[in-house]
Structure 1
Amino acid sequence: MDLALLRTFVTVHRAGSFTRAAQLLGLSQPAVTSQIRSLERQVGRPLFLRLPRGVSPTPVGNDLAHKVAPHLDALMEITQGDLAEESGNRTVHLAGPPTFTSLRVLPALAPLVAEGLQLRIALAGEDEGLAGLAAGHHDVSLGTLRPRDRLLAATPLWDEEQILVAAPVWQERIGGPQAVHTHGPRVLDDVPVISYDEGMPLLDHYWSAVFDSSPAIVPAVVVPDLRAVLECVTAGVGMAVLPRYLCGEALAEGSVAALLEPPVPPLRTYFVSVRAGTIALPHIARVHEQLVRAAAGW
C-alpha cells in the first residue's frame, strides 16, 4: 500500500476535512480527493462519509487510522530526520495553557534547551492544543483534558491544587473562612468574581467539589490570563479560584487570603499528551521524561 496515500488518509482523518488536509499537505483539494478514492479502491470499502461540512470516518476508516497512524508518524519522523535527531536535539513543538506553560513547563525544560534542544511554544487553550496535536502541528500538548482520541496517548503529570482567594479586606467582610464553613457559599454572593474565561471553569469546578452545587454568579471581570486574574485579586477587585503554585507567594505575603480552607482541596490533573507512537522518538522522549521528572518536585 502506497505510503503517500496513507499519509494523506491520516491527515484527512485528523483534520476532518479534505480542504484542511490539502492545506496541511500542500496539495490541491482535487489531489487529496483523488488519493482518498484510490485508497478506498485498494481497501474495497469507503473510508469517509462526505458531510455538508467536512468528512467523518467510517468504522473501517477509524480502524485503519488507529492501526497505521502511530507507525506512519514514526516513519515520517525518521525519513525527515537528520543527524541532530540521533542526539535527540530536534525541534519540539509544544502547546499548553499560558500560565502553566510559562511558570512550570518552560523552567522545567530549560536544561534541555541548554543541551541543544530547540522548542517552539504555542500558548493555546486545551481543546486547541489537542486539536493541533492530532493534526500534527504540535508534538506535545499539556492540559487538564485527557484526550479521547485513541491516536493520542496521555500520561498524568501533576495534580494542581485550587484555592478560593481574595484580598484580606474581602475575607474580613464575609467574616473569615469560618463564615463560609458555617453558612455555605451564600456569604460569598456579594463578592465580585474574576475569571480567565466567561464560563468560569475553575470556579465551577471548585463549587462542584466543595459545595456540591453550581455557582449562580456572573463574573465581574474576565481576563484570559491567570496572572492578570491574580493581579485583580491582589488589587481588591474580588475573588477568584487560582492554583496554589500561582498564588502561594501572595498568600505567604498576606496580599491575598483564602476565603475557605476545605479539608480536601479541589485538584485538577494535568496530562502530557503525544501522538501514539511518537514517544519513541528521541527528541519527544527527552521532553516527556524531563516533564515527568520535574513534575515530581512541583
Structure 2
Amino acid sequence: MTLSQLRTFALVARLGSLHAAAAALGVSEPAVSAALASLRQDLGDPLFIRAPGGISLTPGGRALADHAQNIVGLADQARWEVNHAKNDAGRLKIAATAPFAEHAAGRLLDLFTKRVPGALVDVVAEPAEDLAGLLLERAYDIALGARPPAAAGTPGVEPGLESVPFLRYQRVFVAAATDPLGRLHGPLPVGRLLRRPWFAGPAGILDSSEESRWLASLGVVPEIIRLSSETDALAAVRAGEGVMLALGHIVRTELVSGALLRVPVAGTPVPGLWWASTLDQHRTTTMAQTLQRFVGTADATAAMVARGGSRGLERRGSKFHVALWS
C-alpha cells in the first residue's frame, strides 16, 4: 500500500468516478485502474463495484475511504509544514465566497494582519460548492463566507471540517428611489417582482444560502442577472434597471438618505450567516485556528460592518484576490 495508491483511491471515493479522478490527477484512466488494482489485491477487498454513472463502494471501501483521506491529508500537511517552516509559517491561504470577499474580507484581514504579528494572507474567491473539496485537499487553510455544503445526502457540514458561524446579516429588497414600487404598501408577494430584472454579484444567489432556501420554500425561481460585483449590481438598481436582494448593512446609509428604497416584500428581510470553516482541529494549522477565533470577536465584527463598505478587492482573471494595506 503506497501513498500514491491511497491518494488515488481517496479521490475516486470522493468523486465517485475513475474517469473524473483521472482527469483531476492529470493521468490516464488505465493508470488509475492499475493503482486501484494493486490496492485491491493488497487489501484483499474489491473496494468498489461499477455502478450506473460511476462506482459504488463496498463496506471495505467505505472503511478505507475515511482512512485514506486522513492519511493523505496528514502527508500533505507534513509536506506543507516542512516546506514552509522557515519562511512561510505565518501565511494563510484563504478561500472566500464572493459576497464576503467583496464586502468584508478587506477590512477584516487588514485588522487581523495588524493584530497578529507575522500573519500573511492570500485570499481568493471560490464557489461555495467547491469549498469542502478545496479544504480537504488542503488547497486552502480556511474558508470564509458561505458554509461549505456537505455532499449530497449528508446532513450538516462535510465530515472532516469544522464550521463556526461568526456574522449574522440580512438581505433586503431594494429598488431605485424613483421606482413605482415605492408607492405600494407591503407586504408584497415576491411574485410581484418576477417581471423585474433581479441583479446580483458574480455568485448570484448561492444554492446553499438562506436566500436560496427562502425562494425555494416559495416555489420561486427568478431569473438572476449576474454582474461582476454586487457594487455594480447596486449601481444598476440605482439607475432604475431592476431590483436586488442587498446586504442590509451595506445599503443602510442609502436607505436612510433616500438614495435607494426598500421594497416591502413578504418574508424579508432574509437572515443569513457567514461561517469560518477549517479542517478539524487535529489537522488544521495554528494560524487558521487563530483566524477562526478572531473572526468572532467584537473588533472583527465592527470592522466587517463599518460604514463605507469594503476595501482591498481587486479582480484578476476569473478570480478575486484581496490586496491588503495598512
TM-score for both structures, normalised by structure 1: 0.76
**176, 188, 193: which is aligned to 2:198?**
193
CA distance in 1, matches of 2:193, 2:26: 54
Q: Shift in Å at residue 207 of structure 1?
A: 9.4
2:241 maps to amino acid: V
Q: Secondary structure at the match of 2:242?
A: coil
AA in 2 matched with 1:175:
R
Taking a change above 3 Å as real, the CA distance of residues 276 and 32 of structure 1, as seen in their structure-2 partners, is farther
Separation (CA, whole Å) in 1 of partners of 2:216 and 2:15: 40
In angstroms, what is the RMSD of aligned CA positions? 3.9
Correspondent of 1:125 among 127, 149, 159: 127
Structure-1 separation of matches of 2:11 and 2:92:
19
Aligned AA (1:153): E
**What per-residue deviation string (whole Å, max 9, x for no partner) do you get for residues 239-289 of structure 1?**
111112332333233211211287973212222223345654223223322
Instruction: Give the Å deviation of 1:77.
Output: 1.2
CA-CA distance at 1:217 after TM superposition: 4.8
How far did 1:84 drift? 4.7
**Closer, same or farther in 2 for the Cα pair 1:296/1:205, shift >3 Å?**
closer
Q: Distance in 1 between matches of 2:20 and 2:279?
A: 19
2:141, 2:197 → 1: CA distance?
Answer: 39
Q: Which residue of 2 aligns with 1:292?
A: 296
C-alpha displacement of 1:201: 5.8
State the number of aligned residues: 292
The equivalent of 1:154 in structure 2 is 163
Of the candidates 266, 278, 283, which is equivalent to residue 274 of structure 1?
278
Change in Cα spacing, 1:119 to 1:199, as seen in structure 2 (3 Å) is: closer
Relative to total residues, which structure has the larger helix share, 1 or 2? 1
Deviations 1:101-151 (A, max 9, x none): 132124322345453334333322211333333444333233434432323
TM-score by structure 2 length?
Answer: 0.71
What is the 5 A alignment of 1:60-209? 60-70=60-70, 72-82=72-82, 84-85=84-85, 89-113=89-113, 115-148=117-150, 149-170=158-179, 173-176=181-184, 179-181=185-187, 184-185=189-190, 188=193, 191-196=196-201, 209=214
* Distance in 2 separating the partners of 1:42 and 1:271: 41
> Percentage identity across aligned positions?
21
Cα deviations across residues 17-42 of structure 1 (Å, max 9, x unaligned)?
44554565576654443332222223
98-107 or 12-21, larger mean C-alpha shift: 12-21
Unaligned runs of 5+ in 1: none
Q: Tell me the distance in 2 between the aligned counterparts of 1:11 and 1:257.
A: 49
AA matched with 1:268: G
Specify every segment of 5 or more residues in structure 2 that has no aligned partner in the other structure, as ranges: 151-157, 306-326
**Inter-partner Cα distance in structure 2 for 1:279 and 1:68:** 14
Partner of 2:311: none
Further displaced range: 159-168 or 186-195? 186-195
In 1, Cα distance between the equivalents of 2:3 and 2:175? Answer: 57
2 CA distance for matches of 1:225 and 1:30?
A: 43
What does residue 218 of structure 2 align with?
213
Equivalent position of 2:236 in the other structure: 232
- Asked whether the equivalents of residues 95 and 138 of structure 1 are also in contact (C-alpha less than 8 Å), the reply is yes
Q: How big is the shift at 1:2? A: 3.9
The letter for the 2-side match of 1:132 is L
Asked if the contact 1:167–1:234 (Cα under 8 Å) also holds between the matched residues in 2, the reply is: yes
- Asked if structure 1 preserves the Cα contact closer than 8 Å seen for 2:99 and 2:203, the reply is no
**What CA distance in whole angstroms lies between the structure 1 residues aligned with 2:103 and 2:204?**
24
- Cα 1:193–1:79 change in 2 (3 A) is closer
Provide, for residues 154-199 of structure 1, a one-character-per-residue CA deviation record: whole Å limited to 9, x for no partner: 22232221111111112x55425xx122x64465466443244798
Alignment match, 2:323: none
SS at match of 2:259: coil
Query: Aligned AA for 2:124?
Result: A
Amino acid at match of 1:257: L
Deviation of 1:235 after TM superposition, in Å, equals: 1.6
Inter-partner Cα distance in structure 1 for 2:145 and 2:26: 30
